[in-house]
């Protein structure tokens, strides 16, 4: 095997030199593309040779095959796998187990590939990673250059079985206050059985931050944001995850206030019941939307200005008087109904509204978080989702935004069977005793050493 790898390495160097020192390529992009393709081709051949050598070892080790109870049934069955280096052809032997009578591929267990699997885990992880930002089709084109379909990308997303963990700091941080922004996105779902009308799914989002800071005269950014969603869209389970993160990431006893910014939804009000000093704060976008609606119904009575004033003074009775006064001036039942709804809104969220309008807190960014974290991928453009794909991809996207590792989005299955243990034992022995690295020290045939190409290569080597 060493001689074959040495020959492949020499061929690669020769091919690169021929491509690099000819006049056929135009520009850096074409040169790098050609060199990359040569290296990838050589890499695929090396991998195929390594697999062939390992397969040959078990075939020739008759004593070990007898111990394992394996009878050779067929040699060199081919299997194609799409990898990060392109498609490789795996040749492995087919055996029958004496004890069970089953037919097996022991080498597949060492390679950690499942039956009928044609794409390796690195490629599947890359496709899911890209699909967090762009469409299935573009993900397939970017990762595999169109070698697989968009349905294959979706299948890779659905294969995400592992629970993606939120990255936690090495040690707990000490802060005086936290700001938690909670809101939801409304994602259009695929129509079941072509039924008429829209069908939306509410996807709750929670973002934990340590406040905000100015990065320019007109722009702020959140400090250490960490996002949370639940793949089953369960708000209770979502808050459980948030609570667990807070306990592991922060010194809870040192927290003086935890502000939860939201639109007053019940699922938001029920959050963090186990954390002390929690203060509900109404998101300004939603509160202004409600007040402007009343202001538009009575444009000449300065209703919005008067209501905001009562909120700044924490004057609940004054707000009720304004609503009663407006209701007496209402000309139709629809207007009275809007005032009644606004009264219920004030009653249920008075303290949260006061916290917002007193001006003692930084602005909320719940809508901005939903827009950039969820809507940008799932609801801003016309598209429909299945519930399972939406749940798993939203979880993967959050994991990516939180700084997670690419390969962790795909669950790795490991086989600790007798065959895998045997191969590992063989590899250890082969690497430590049998592999002869001296083959690479031998003088390999080269071109004319006095040629311009060889002199240039020598000069580059001496310079390095």
Query: What proportions of the chain, in percent to the nearest 5, are helix, strand and coil?
Result: 55, 15, 30
Q: How far apart are CA 370 and CA 374, in angstroms?
A: 5
Q: Which residues of 363-380 are buried (b: 16+ CB within 10 A; e: fewer)?
A: ebbbbbbbeebbbebbbe
Q: How far apart are CA 312 and CA 353, in angstroms?
A: 9
Q: What is the pLDDT of residue 381?
A: 87
18 sits in the region (left: phi over 0; alpha: psi -120 to 50; else beta) called alpha
In this structure, how many other beta carbons lie within 10 angstroms of the beta carbon of residue 402? 15
Q: Can you name the residues that pair with 78 across neighbouring β-strands? A: 91
193 by Cβ neighbours in 10 Å (0-12 / 13-18 / 19+) ranks as exposed
Mapped onto helix, strand or coil, the DSSP state of residue 87 is strand
Q: What is the DSSP string of 303-370?
A: HHHHHHHHHHHT-HHHHHHHHHHHHHH--SHHHHHHHHHHHHHHHHHHHHHHHHHTS-SPPP-HHHHH
Helices (H), 159-274: 235-249, 266-269
In this structure, how many other beta carbons lie within 10 angstroms of the beta carbon of residue 194? 6
Q: What is the pLDDT of residue 415?
A: 55
Q: How far apart are CA 411 and CA 414, in angstroms?
A: 10
Measured CA distances, 197 to 188, 192, 193, 194, 202 (Å): 11, 10, 12, 9, 16
Per-residue pLDDT of the chain (464 residues; tens, 9 = 90+): 667 778 888 888 888 888 777 766 677 888 888 888 899 999 999 999 888 888 888 888 888 888 888 999 999 999 999 999 999 998 899 999 998 899 989 888 888 888 888 998 899 999 999 999 999 999 999 999 889 999 999 999 998 876 777 777 788 999 999 999 999 999 999 876 556 656 889 999 999 999 888 888 888 889 999 999 999 999 999 999 999 999 999 998 899 999 999 988 889 988 887 788 888 889 888 899 999 999 999 888 899 999 999 999 999 999 999 999 998 888 888 999 999 999 999 998 998 899 888 877 777 889 999 999 999 999 988 888 999 999 999 999 999 999 888 877 776 555 556 677 776 776 676 656 555 556 555 555 555 555 666 666 666 666 55
Q: What is the pLDDT of residue 431?
A: 59
Q: Which residues of 197-234 are buried (b: 16+ CB within 10 A; e: fewer)?
A: eeeebebbbbbbbbbbeeeeeeeeebeebbbbbbbebe
Q: What is the pLDDT of residue 191?
A: 75
Whole-structure pTM value: 0.80
Q: How far apart are CA 72 and CA 15, in angstroms?
A: 39
**Cβ atoms of 226 and 166 closer than 8 Å:** yes
Q: Side by side, which strands form the sheet with 226-228? A: 226-228, 200-209, 177-188, 257-262, 278-282
Q: What is the pLDDT of residue 14?
A: 86
């Amino acid at each position: 095997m060493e001689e074959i790898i040495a020959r492949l390495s020499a061929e690669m160097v020769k091919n690169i030199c021929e491509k690099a020192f000819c006049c056929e390529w135009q520009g850096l992009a074409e040169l790098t593309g050609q060199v990359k393709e040569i290296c990838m081709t050589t890499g695929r051949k090396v991998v195929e040779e390594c697999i062939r050598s390992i397969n040959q070892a078990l075939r020739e080790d008759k004593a070990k095959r007898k111990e394992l109870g394996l009878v050779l049934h067929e040699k060199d069955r081919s299997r194609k796998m799409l990898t990060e280096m392109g498609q490789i052809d795996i040749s492995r032997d087919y055996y029958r187990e004496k004890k069970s009578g089953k037919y097996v591929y022991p080498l597949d267990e060492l390679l950690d590939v499942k039956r009928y699997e044609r794409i390796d885990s690195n490629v599947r992880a890359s496709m899911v990673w890209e699909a967090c930002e762009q469409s299935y089709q573009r993900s397939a084109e970017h990762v595999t250059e169109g070698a697989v379909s968009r349905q294959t990308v979706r299948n890779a997303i659905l294969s995400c079985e592992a629970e993606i963990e939120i990255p936690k700091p090495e040690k707990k941080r000490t802060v005086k206050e936290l700001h938690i922004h909670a809101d939801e996105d409304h994602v259009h779902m695929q129509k079941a059985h072509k039924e008429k009308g829209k069908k939306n799914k509410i996807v709750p989002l929670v973002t934990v931050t340590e406040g905000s800071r100015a990065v320019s005269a007109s722009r702020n950014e959140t400090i250490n944001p960490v996002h949370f969603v639940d793949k089953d869209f369960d708000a209770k389970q979502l808050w459980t995850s948030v609570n667990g993160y807070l306990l592991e990431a922060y010194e809870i006893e040192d927290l003086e206030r935890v502000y939860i910014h939201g639109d007053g939804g019940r699922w938001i009000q029920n959050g963090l019941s186990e954390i002390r000093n929690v203060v509900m704060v109404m998101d300004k976008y939603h509160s202004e939307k409600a007040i402007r609606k009343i202001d538009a119904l009575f444009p000449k009575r300065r209703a919005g200005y008067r209501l905001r004033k009562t909120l700044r003074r924490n004057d609940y009775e004054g707000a009720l008087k304004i609503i009663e006064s407006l209701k007496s001036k209402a000309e139709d039942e629809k207007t009275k109904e809007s005032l009644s709804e606004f009264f219920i809104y004030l009653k249920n969220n008075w303290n949260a509204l006061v916290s917002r309008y007193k001006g003692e807190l930084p602005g909320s960014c719940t809508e901005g978080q939903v827009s950039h974290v969820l809507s940008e991928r799932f609801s801003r453009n016309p598209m429909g989702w299945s519930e399972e794909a939406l749940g798993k991809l939203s979880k993967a996207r959050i994991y990516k935004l939180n700084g997670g590792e690419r390969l962790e989005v795909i669950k790795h299955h490991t086989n600790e069977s007798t065959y895998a243990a045997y191969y590992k034992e063989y590899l250890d022995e082969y690497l430590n005793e049998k592999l002869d690295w001296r083959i690479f020290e031998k003088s390999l045939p080269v071109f004319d050493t006095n040629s311009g190409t060889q002199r240039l290569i020598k000069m580059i080597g001496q310079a390095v």
